[in-house]
Amino acid sequence: MTRTVLESKSKTVTIGFDEPFCVIGERINPTGRKKLAAELEAGDFSTIEQDALLQVACGAAVLDVNAGVVYNSNPNPNETEPPLMRAVIEMVQGLVDVPLCIDSSVPAALEAGLEIAEGRPLVNSVTGEEERLELVLPLIKKYNVPVVAISNDDSGISEDPEVRFLVAKKIVERAADFGIPAHDIVVDPLVMPVGAMATAGRQVFELVRKLREELGVNTTCGASNISFGLPNRHGVNAAFLPMAIGAGMTSAIMNPIRQVEMEAVKAANMLMDHDPNGAAWIGFSRVLEAVKEGATFAEAAKAAAAAGSGRGGRRRRRS
Give the C-alpha separation, 98 to 85, whole Å: 17
Comparing 181-185, 306-310, 315-319, the range with the smallest average pLDDT is 315-319
183 in helix, strand or coil? helix
pLDDT above 70 as % of the chain: 97
pLDDT, tens only, 179-192: 999 999 999 999 99
pLDDT for 317 equals 41
Give the C-alpha separation, 81 to 258, whole Å: 29
**In Å, how far are 63, 119, 121 from 93, measured between CA atoms?**
10, 10, 11
pLDDT for 72 equals 86
Looking at residue 157, the DSSP 8-state letter turns out to be: -
Q: What number of other Cβ atoms are within 10 A of residue 245's Cβ? A: 23
Closest CA to 19 of 205, 249, 242: 249
Cα dihedral across residues 158, 164, 168, 170: positive or negative: negative
Please, what's the b/e burial string for 79-101 (b: 16 or more CB within 10 A of its CB; e: otherwise)? ebbbebbbbbbeebbeebbbbbb
Residue 174 backbone zone (phi > 0: left; psi -120 to 50: alpha; other: beta): alpha
pLDDT, tens only, 215-252: 999 999 999 999 999 999 999 999 999 999 999 999 99
Backbone angles phi, psi at 78, to 5 degrees: -65, -25
CA atoms within 13 A on the CB side of 88: 40
Give the C-alpha separation, 180 to 72, whole Å: 38
228 in helix, strand or coil? coil
Closest CA to 13 of 98, 138, 127: 98
Checking if the pLDDT of 260 tops 90, the result is: yes
Give the list of residues 6+ apart from residue 281 with CB closer than 8 angstroms, or none: 266, 267, 269, 270, 275
Residue 11 backbone zone (phi > 0: left; psi -120 to 50: alpha; other: beta): beta
**209-215 mean pLDDT:** 98
Helices (H) and strands (E) in the chain, counts: 11, 10
- pTM of the full structure: 0.95
**155-175 mean pLDDT:** 98
Cα dihedral across residues 188, 190, 193, 199: positive or negative: negative
Comparing 23-37, 78-92, 298-312, the range with the smallest average pLDDT is 298-312
pLDDT for 309 equals 67
Backbone angles phi, psi at 127, to 5 degrees: -120, -175
pLDDT, tens only, 103-150: 999 999 999 999 999 999 999 999 999 999 999 999 999 999 999 999
Q: What number of other Cβ atoms are within 10 A of residue 49's Cβ? A: 16
268 band by pLDDT with thresholds 50, 70 and 90: very high
Query: What are the chain's domains?
Result: 18-303 (3.20.20.20)
227 in helix, strand or coil? helix
